[in-house]
Structure 1
């Protein structure tokens, strides 16, 4: 379980694979000097509910991963997260988009 430390040091706990993908999207948006929101459901063990933060290039941000190896990035998931980041609702941490091969009906 990785963390995002944002602003005053509050920690947001997010699974490492999801965090790696969020990092790509967040870094891209902030590099473009774009502000946006990030929303997520609280993980098991935390209080029930969901949270949203405002991300701005001037606010300190740190990503910390438990796994020392970076995962392979799923381009479709990045695309989905980038699409939500550009919407009025901001980034919603959605489940990974998997590329499922089309069934041909052949045995």
Structure 2
């Protein structure tokens, strides 16, 4: 589990793969000067509930990953997370979409029947 530390005092744990996707979306939004809300569900050991922070270009953010391997980013997941970040609700963890299935092809009868 990695951590996102906001302003040196607020932290949230995320799986490294999700954290890498959140980092990418955050960087993209902040490069464009677009502040947004980031919301997560607090662990039961912290009392449960949820927390939100206002992410803005001057915020101090630390993305601390548990592992050293950089995960491959799923463009479909980035799109889903970006859509959430652009909504009034803000960025929150959404499930990773399944990879799209290749189109189903029907074998040509003339090539299969011999």
- TM-score between the two structures when normalised by the length of structure 2: 0.83
Structure 1 ranges of 4+ moved more than 3 A? 43-46
How far apart are the structure 1 equivalents of 2:42 and 2:94?
A: 13
Task: Give unpaired runs (5+ residues) of structure 2.
Answer: 107-114
How far apart are the structure 2 equivalents of 1:42 and 1:35?
A: 22
- TM-score between the two structures when normalised by the length of structure 1: 0.88
Give SS of 2:69's match: coil
Higher helix share: 2
1:16-31 matches, cutoff 5 A? 16-31=16-31
* Bigger-Rg structure (1/2): 2
Give SS of 1:23's match: helix
The answer to whether the 8 A contact 1:33-1:57 is kept is: yes
Count of aligned pairs between the two proteins: 105
